Chain A
Amino acid sequence: MIRVFLVDDHHFFLSGLRAELGAEFEIVGEAGEVDAAVDGIRRTRPDVVLLDVHLPGGGGRAVLEAVRQTDQEIRFLALSVSDAAEDVIGVIRAGARGYVTKTISPPDLAAAIRRVQGGDAVFSPRLAGFVLDAFHGDLTGVVDPELDQLTTREREVLRHIARGFTYKEVARRLHLSVKTVETHVSSVLRKLQLSSRHELTRWASDRRLV
Chain B
Amino acid sequence: MAGPSGACHHGPPGISARRRRAPTATEVPQRPASSAVLVRSRDNRVLLGVAGGLGERLGVDPVLIRVAFAVLAVSGGAGILLYLLAWAFSTEPDADQARERPIRRPAARQAIALGLVVLGSLLLLREIGLWFGDRIVWPIALAAAGSAIIWARSDDRDRARWPRLSGNPIEALFTGRVGLIRILVGGLLVASGLGLGFANTGPDLAAAADALAGVAITLIGLGLIFGPWATRMASQLAEERRGRIRSEARAEMAAHLHDSVLHTLALIQRTDASPEVVGLARRQERELRAWLYRAPVPPEGRLRPAVEEIATRVEQRHNVPVDVVVVGDAPLDDAGRALVDACQEAAFNAARHSGAPLVSVYVEVEPDELTGFVRDEGKGFDPEAVPTDRRGIADSIRGRIRRHGGSVTIVSSPGEGTEVQLRLPRSQSS
Contact = CB atoms under 8 A, between A and B. Distances in A.
B198 to A, nearest CB: 55
Contacts, number: 81
Contact of A164 (B258, B323, B326, B364): B323
A210 B251 contact: yes
Contact of A103 (B266, B326, B327): B266
A16 B360 contact: no
Given A81-B263, A81-B266, A82-B258, A133 B293 contact: no
Contacts of A82: 258, 262, 289, 292-293
Contact of A163 (B259, B267, B293, B375): B375
A162 B327 contact: yes
Nearest to B326: A129
A101 B266 contact: yes
Interface in B256-281: 258-259, 262-263, 265-267, 269-270
A64 B313 CA distance: 38
A149 B154 CA distance: 45
A125 B269 contact: no
B427 to A, nearest CB: 19
A132 B289 CA distance: 22
Interface in B385-426: 419
B366 to A, nearest CB: 9
Nearest to A53: B258
Mostly, the A contact residues are loop
Contacts of B266: 13, 81, 101-103
Interface in B268-327: 269-270, 282, 285, 289, 292-293, 323, 325-327
A137 B327 CA distance: 10
A126 B293 contact: no
Interface string A102-128: 110110000000000000000001101
**Most chain-B CB neighbours within 10 Å: which of A16, A129, A132?**
A129
Nearest to B421: A163
Contacts of A136: 327-328
Q: Bin the interface of chain B by size.
A: 20 to 34
**Most chain-B CB neighbours within 10 Å: which of A103, A128, A136, A209?**
A103
A125 B362 contact: yes
B169 to A, nearest CB: 31
A54 interface: yes
A106 to B, nearest CB: 8
Given A125-B362, A163-B360, A164-B360, A81 B262 contact: yes
Interface string A159-180: 1001111000000000000000
Contacts of B265: 81
Contacts of B255: 54, 210
B362 A162 contact: yes
B254 interface: yes
Given A101-B266, A103-B270, A163-B419, A129 B362 contact: yes
Interface in A1-42: 9-10, 12-13, 16
B245 to A, nearest CB: 15
Given A159-B364, A164-B360, A164-B362, A12 B267 contact: yes
A143 interface: no
B233 interface: no
A81 B373 CA distance: 26
Nearest to B260: A10
B136 interface: no
B238 interface: no
Contacts of A103: 266, 269-270, 282, 285
B352 to A, nearest CB: 18
A142 interface: no
A158 to B, nearest CB: 9
A139 interface: no
B358 A129 contact: no
Interface in B361-394: 362, 364, 373, 375, 377
Contacts of B258: 54, 81-82, 210
Contact of B267 (A9, A13, A54, A106): A13
Contact of B263 (A10, A125, A209): A10
Contacts of B375: 163-165
A172 to B, nearest CB: 11
Contacts of A128: 325
Minimum-distance CB pairs A-B, first 5? A164-B360, A129-B325, A102-B266, A163-B362, A81-B262
25 contacts: A10-B263, A12-B263, A13-B266, A16-B267, A16-B270, A54-B258, A81-B263, A81-B266, A103-B269, A103-B282, A125-B362, A129-B325, A133-B328, A137-B328, A159-B364, A162-B325, A162-B362, A163-B362, A163-B373, A164-B323, A164-B358, A164-B362, A164-B375, A210-B255, A210-B292
Given A81-B258, A84-B289, A125-B323, 16 more contacts: A9-B259, A81-B265, A82-B292, A84-B292, A101-B266, A103-B282, A125-B362, A132-B327, A132-B364, A136-B327, A136-B328, A163-B373, A164-B358, A164-B360, A210-B251, A210-B292
Interface of B: 251, 254-255, 258-259, 262-263, 265-267, 269-270, 282, 285, 289, 292-293, 323, 325-328, 358, 360, 362, 364, 373, 375, 377, 419
Interface of A: 9-10, 12-13, 16, 54, 81-84, 101-103, 105-106, 125-126, 128-129, 132-133, 136-137, 159, 162-165, 209-210
